[in-house]
């Protein structure tokens, strides 16, 4: 794994070709194109010490203006504990909004900052074992930034998740570096390589979880893209009762208009 990581890092920093797509596991500050009026869905398989989990969220973003976006996320979940029957159904539904705070464009490059808010509702069944949802309202407040050029993209998002009922708050942070593997061409065709890091920190417990997430993205045209990401934990709290072995994501995005 470490040898593969070193090779991937070397490839990322050695590649200097053209074109860019949105990051896979990190929020993007670009609200047009494949992050505009469209549909995003992906299957995420999560392997833990005590269970196998499959999540299929459907995200529907809508650009109210070029600087303001709203949307909803409908997640379907299947949980299969070891040596037990699977539980499946709709998990907690979320709605979100993004507002562009700052944009500076240059020749073949741009820098942008967005504010984001997401509200998650306890819509999933909590009478099952294991539960499909948290049973809590959750409010997320965060910032999204990105410095994007035709040769590379650096993206990040960070924020705080505030559950209801006095439950423990957690900080979420993600970072992504992407490079294209194909030159710019028309009709549009892109193959993008991403190296991402996905973190979650709980201040009260001083517990940090961090995943290294290499990924690949293929854009065959203006209205669709396909992406894959492998998430491997490099930091997990030692007292975690159900540690994650890995996560695997396979998804697609469609542009409606």
- Measured CA to CA, the distance from residue 69 to residue 32 in angstroms comes to 9
The pTM of the full predicted model, rounded to 2 decimals, is 0.88
Please count the structural domains in the chain: 1
Q: Is residue 8 within a helix (H) or strand (E), and if so which, with residue range?
A: helix 2-14
CB neighbour class for 239 (10 Å; exposed up to 12, middle 13-18, buried from 19): exposed
Look at residue 14 in the predicted model and tell me its pLDDT: 35
Domain that residue 114 falls in: 2-221+232-252
CA pair distance 55, 90, nearest whole angstrom:
10
pLDDT value at residue 31: 81
Q: Decide if 248 is inside a domain.
A: yes
Please indicate, yes or no, if residue 226 is contained in any of the structural domains: no
The answer to whether residue 173 is domain-embedded is yes
Which pLDDT belongs to residue 185?
Answer: 77
Contact 130, 91 (CB under 8 A): no
CA end-to-end span of the chain? 41
Is 75 within 8 Å of 57 (Cβ atoms)?
yes
The two beta strands, 38-48 and 244-255, are: antiparallel
**Looking at residue 149, what DSSP letter applies?**
E
Token readout for 13 is 């920093």
Neighbours of 251 (CB within 10 A): 20
Residues in the chain: 257
Count Cβ atoms within 10 A of the Cβ of residue 51 and give its class: 0-12 exposed, 13-18 middle, 19 or more buried.
middle
CATH of the domain at 126: 2.40.128
Nearest to residue 144, comparing CAs of 173, 179, 169? 173
From first to last of its 257 residues, what are the pLDDT tens digits of the chain? 444 443 344 333 333 333 478 999 999 998 865 556 789 999 999 999 999 999 999 999 999 998 999 999 999 999 999 988 999 999 999 999 999 999 999 988 999 999 999 999 999 988 888 999 999 999 999 999 999 998 899 999 999 999 999 999 999 999 999 999 988 777 778 999 999 999 999 999 999 999 999 999 999 988 899 999 999 999 999 877 789 999 999 999 988 76
Whether residue 257 is contained in a domain is answered as no
Round to whole Å and give the CA distance between 27 and 176. 9
Q: Is residue 227 part of a domain?
A: no
Question: What pLDDT was estimated at residue 32?
Answer: 65
For Cα atoms 113, 114, 118, give the angle at the middle one, nearest 5 degrees.
155
80 CB-contact burial (10 Å; exposed 0-12 / middle 13-18 / buried 19+): middle
Ramachandran category for residue 31: left, alpha or beta (phi over 0 → left; psi -120 to 50 → alpha): alpha
Q: Provide DSSP, 210-248.
A: EEEEEEEEEE-SSSEEEEEEEEEEEE--TT-SS-EEEEE
Q: Looking at residue 6, what is its pLDDT? A: 37
């Amino acid at each position: 794994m470490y040898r593969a990581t070193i090779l991937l890092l070397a490839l990322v920093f050695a590649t200097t070709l053209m074109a860019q797509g949105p990051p896979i596991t990190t929020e993007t500050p670009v609200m047009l194109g494949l992050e505009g009026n469209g549909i995003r869905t992906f299957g995420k398989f999560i392997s833990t010490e005590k269970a196998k989990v499959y999540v299929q969220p459907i995200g529907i973003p809508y650009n109210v203006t070029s600087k303001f976006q709203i949307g909803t996320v409908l997640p379907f979940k299947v949980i299969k504990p070891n040596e037990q029957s699977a539980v499946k159904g709709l998990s907690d539904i979320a709605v979100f909004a993004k507002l562009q705070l700052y944009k500076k464009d240059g020749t073949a490059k741009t820098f942008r900052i967005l504010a984001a808010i997401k509200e998650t509702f306890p819509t999933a069944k909590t009478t099952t074992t294991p539960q499909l949802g948290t049973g809590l309202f959750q409010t997320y407040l965060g910032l999204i930034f990105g410095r994007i050029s035709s040769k590379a993209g650096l993206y990040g998002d960070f924020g705080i998740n505030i559950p209801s009922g006095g439950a423990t708050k957690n900080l979420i942070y993600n970072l992504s570096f992407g490079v294209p593997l194909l030159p710019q061409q028309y009709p549009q065709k892109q193959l993008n390589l991403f190296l991402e890091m996905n973190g979650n920190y709980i201040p009260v417990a001083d517990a940090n979880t961090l995943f290294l997430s290499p990924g690949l993205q293929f854009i065959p045209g203006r209205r669709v893209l396909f992406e894959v990401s492998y998430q491997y934990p490099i930091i997990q709290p030692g007292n975690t009762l159900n540690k994650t072995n890995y996560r695997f994501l396979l998804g697609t995005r469609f542009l409606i208009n």
